[in-house]
Structure 1
Amino acid sequence: MLDFLKKLLPTTFKDWLRPFKMKLVDNPKKRKLFLHMQRKHQELLHQIKGKEKIKVVFLAIHKSVWKVDPVFQKMLNDPFFEPVILVCPYTVYGEERMKQDMQECYEYFKEKGYPLLSSYHAEEQRWITLEEIQPDIVFFTNPHNLTRKEYYEDAYLNYLSCYAGYGMPISKYENYQAQFNQVFHNAIWKIFVQTVEMVENYKNISQRGRVGIELVGDCLVEQLRGTRFDQSTWKNAKQKIKIIYAPHHTIEDNKIFSISTFLENAFFIKEIALKYKDDIYWSFKPHPLLKEKLLIHPDWGKQRTEDYYGFWTEFESSQVDEGEYIDLFKNSDAMILDSSSFLGEYLFVDKPILYLLKKDSLNYFSSFGHKCLSVSSQALGNKEIENFIVQLLNDTDVNQHKRRVLIDDYDRSLSYKIDTSTRILKILKQ
């Protein structure tokens, strides 16, 4: 009956009611859950106190958003920890996509030789439970409800759970509620964050306040700043300038979060690739959700989508990259993008950036996001895109000094000298 009445209410009235519901109903519930989980966490800590080895289960959904590799590797080399990866299903786009993602994710970690489990037991045709694995700590790599209840709600409500943000905090939407004040954020044990701004956001927005929020920096940035990398990630680039084109997936026309310019820029970028094929080699690095959304888009569909992706696969001066990207970034010369997290990550590669804007993109940027934009070139149309290309061909990096000042400021804000992954392990041991 209540759901029926909700449907009858005008959308504008529901929008007007939402802040009151959040303040008077939702937030008190989250605060109550937080206090309950604080007591539960103490009980769980008491249970593992004195154990010689701590079993940590990392819940992985997409290989492309695995950004805690340094933490996992350090745990492998530390006798105090027993880390294992559990590949979980991505349930948003149906069973066929779910199986494909799980298989790709499983093979990715298998090639690394990591301790590994699939959440689906094929022989018995059932989903395994965390209770069977018996973790002491569960490590989330994504805060959103994208998988089965066993590997999301059941996990953070019943185990000591940790989360390290899967991207630099560039974006802002829904008054930060989805980013800092989900039930997930208030129930989890430890949250490892990348910036001082994030600490303040948890303090002011979530119902947990500052409790359990640890400023550690970013694991992926730690990898990007390493000295070793594999140059073979660029297959046939030879002596050409190497540019990454990284479009975001938010092609839907909504008021929640819509930063993608792919529908506006996709074919002009293709024209640019053809025009400068003798001088520039491209990596097409789309968000993993973009293709699925294009397949069901009324103006795209299967044929147009496959043709577009096929161009970047088959073109003599390009390649498609949909997986790990540390070495790809480090050995590139520039990036053209409208992805939010990549803007913050690529900053630390210290190479030219062109961010593709649309009319209301700036509404979706956090304070740190605006800082990153201020040290990047920006484009609202084709002319600015080609101007950026010409600058690269002339070996001109107009934002280099400003970019390095921002990097130095960020480093000072962390106020410690050890790696992000080392700090995370130190906090867990304490």
Structure 2
Amino acid sequence: MSRPIRVVFFVFYFEAWDALDAVYRGMLADPRFEPIVVTIPRKLTGYDKFRDEKKMSAYLDAQGISHERFKFKKSKDGLARLKELAPDYVFLNYPWQRNYKKYYQIEHLVEFTKVCYVPYFSTSLVQEPGQEGVAPHQYIQPTHQLSHMVFLQDKDTKAAFDREGRQNAFLTGTPKIDALLAAKDTVEPVWPIHRELQPTQQPFRLLWAPHHSYDQGWLNFGHFSDECEPMLAFARTHPEMDIVFRPHPFLFGTLTDRDIMTQDELDQWRSKWDALPNTFTDLGAPITSILLASDAMVTDGVSFIGEYPLVTGKPAIFWEKPDHWEFSPLGKIAEATTVKVHTMEQVEQAISEAQAGTLPERTEQIAALVHAVRPQPATAAQTIIELVAKDYS
């Protein structure tokens, strides 16, 4: 080998860096590889322009990860710089190409390098309406079709790739799952609200995490507009409790873009929420740190219903919206780990049980989920690294 295998991690979705982190760190420690991280801007739902590269960079700085920042106004210039780096492989953790600048989209990357895709989400939990088995958006997008290698979490999605006649999919598990399962031993719990009710007495710590999907066109799990006022009232009447609001990164943009709430309505609610002494809005801290620090979680979906029990060993309180998209077979295993509620009264009852230590444990269901999401004993990151090395040789 004349030089190490050069791999560029081409990223804007810092909220899911954990899908790539172990692969990057493994390559950094491996003399066969030369990994380089590059940060780029993104345009999420509700954004009027591409932005957030600075957030991605700041996140990596906090993790001590050296990186090159692509702050080019024109993505064509960024593409030219990427070509100068001459990567043998480019790793992505986000599939939807509409959120990338034009010349950072996969059809331009594959002209000069091999693209590898590691899904940013932990598990494929949801089926599309009218479809049986794996949702098509998990395997028919340009990212799936044009990538040289796609590293998958579960055997059902691998079978879907195989049925399409493509040979680019590999069942490895996902580094994200490995990171979630290892978090108890490797991650320091961090809670963003610092107060004591009395000397040595800590408040009960509740994490509230609403999803962004709002209609039958896409997932249909989120119902923040129904949750926000009851949760505000709950926070006001429970000063003994800390409540951290962790919105999906797309939530605010979706609310205004789809005319579910006006910007003024959202701003007014945020102002009231953030003014309380026992609340906090978290927009991007490492999620495993907050999960571990919490005593309970309330969420309307999707991935947190599986991720919370994997990290904490406790069930999520699943505030279920009627008529959401059906769960996949794996999603049903994750759903079984939750405590389901449908009204604010039931939410309050479940939180009260969590405070009292009487919330159902779901121990067997969580063990079944762990078994389902880890297809092999080896870590996904090391498996991916060896597959890339073999492909290069």
TM-score range, shorter chain: 0.7 to 0.9
Query: Aligned AA for 2:354?
Result: L
Query: What is the percent sequence identity of the aligned residues?
Result: 22
In the TM superposition, residue 373 of structure 1 has moved relative to its aligned partner by 0.8
Map of 1:285 onto structure 2? 246
Map of 2:21 onto structure 1? 69
The answer as to whether partners of 1:57 and 1:135 remain within 8 angstroms in 2 is: yes
The reply on whether 1:306 has 2:267 as its aligned counterpart is yes
In the TM superposition, residue 296 of structure 1 has moved relative to its aligned partner by 3.8
Map of 1:83 onto structure 2? 35
The reply on whether 1:426 has 2:378 as its aligned counterpart is no
Between the aligned partners of 1:178 and 1:65, the Cα distance in structure 2 is 18
1:345–1:408 Cα change, 3 Å: closer
1:156–1:386 Cα change, 3 Å: farther
Matching of residues 250-289 of structure 1 within 5 Å: 250-251=213-214, 253-278=215-240, 280-289=241-250
How many residues end up aligned between the 2 structures?
Answer: 372
Q: What is the SS of the residue equivalent to 1:120?
A: coil
Map of 1:110 onto structure 2? 61
Q: What is the SS of the residue equivalent to 1:242?
A: strand
Q: 4+ runs of 1 displaced by more than 6 Å?
A: 122-125
Map of 1:59 onto structure 2? 10
1:260–1:123 Cα change, 3 Å: closer
Map of 2:96 onto structure 1? 144
Between the aligned partners of 1:124 and 1:357, the Cα distance in structure 2 is 41
Between the aligned partners of 1:302 and 1:194, the Cα distance in structure 2 is 37
Map of 1:338 onto structure 2? 300
Query: Aligned AA for 1:398?
Result: P
How far does the alpha carbon of each residue in 1:130-149 deviate from its partner, in whole angstroms, 9 at most, with x for none?
A: 21221110101111111123
1:237–1:201 Cα change, 3 Å: farther
Determine which of 210, 215, 219 is the counterpart of 2:171.
215
In the TM superposition, residue 93 of structure 1 has moved relative to its aligned partner by 5.3
Query: Aligned AA for 2:318?
Result: Y
Between the aligned partners of 2:64 and 2:128, the Cα distance in structure 1 is 38
Query: Aligned AA for 1:364?
Result: E
Q: What is the SS of the residue equivalent to 2:317?
A: strand
In the TM superposition, residue 150 of structure 1 has moved relative to its aligned partner by 2.0
Higher relative contact order (CA 8 A, sep 6+): 2
Stretches of structure 2 lacking an aligned partner (at least 5 in a row): 197-201
Map of 2:199 onto structure 1? none
Query: Aligned AA for 2:204?
Result: I
Map of 1:190 onto structure 2? 149
TM-score by length of 1: 0.79
Matching of residues 341-420 of structure 1 within 5 Å: 341-349=303-311, 350-361=313-324, 363-410=325-372, 414-416=375-377, 418-420=378-380
Q: What is the CA RMSD across the aligned residues, in angstroms?
A: 2.5
Matching of residues 169-208 of structure 1 within 5 Å: 169-173=124-128, 175=131, 176-204=135-163, 206-208=164-166
In the TM superposition, residue 53 of structure 1 has moved relative to its aligned partner by 0.5
TM-score by length of 2: 0.86
Map of 1:243 onto structure 2? 206
In the TM superposition, residue 336 of structure 1 has moved relative to its aligned partner by 1.0
Between the aligned partners of 1:424 and 1:262, the Cα distance in structure 2 is 37
Query: Aligned AA for 2:203?
Result: K
The answer as to whether partners of 1:75 and 1:83 remain within 8 angstroms in 2 is: yes
In the TM superposition, residue 338 of structure 1 has moved relative to its aligned partner by 1.9
Query: Aligned AA for 2:268?
Result: D
> Comparing 300-309 with 141-150, which one deviates more in the overlay?
300-309
1:256–1:285 Cα change, 3 Å: closer
1:78–1:365 Cα change, 3 Å: same
The answer as to whether partners of 1:55 and 1:137 remain within 8 angstroms in 2 is: yes
Between the aligned partners of 2:150 and 2:195, the Cα distance in structure 1 is 40
Determine which of 272, 275, 282 is the counterpart of 1:321.
282
Map of 1:232 onto structure 2? 190
Query: Aligned AA for 2:228?
Result: A
Map of 1:17 onto structure 2? none
More helix by share: 1
Query: Aligned AA for 2:59?
Result: Y
Stretches of structure 1 lacking an aligned partner (at least 5 in a row): 1-49
The answer as to whether partners of 1:284 and 1:320 remain within 8 angstroms in 2 is: yes
Between the aligned partners of 1:287 and 1:232, the Cα distance in structure 2 is 19
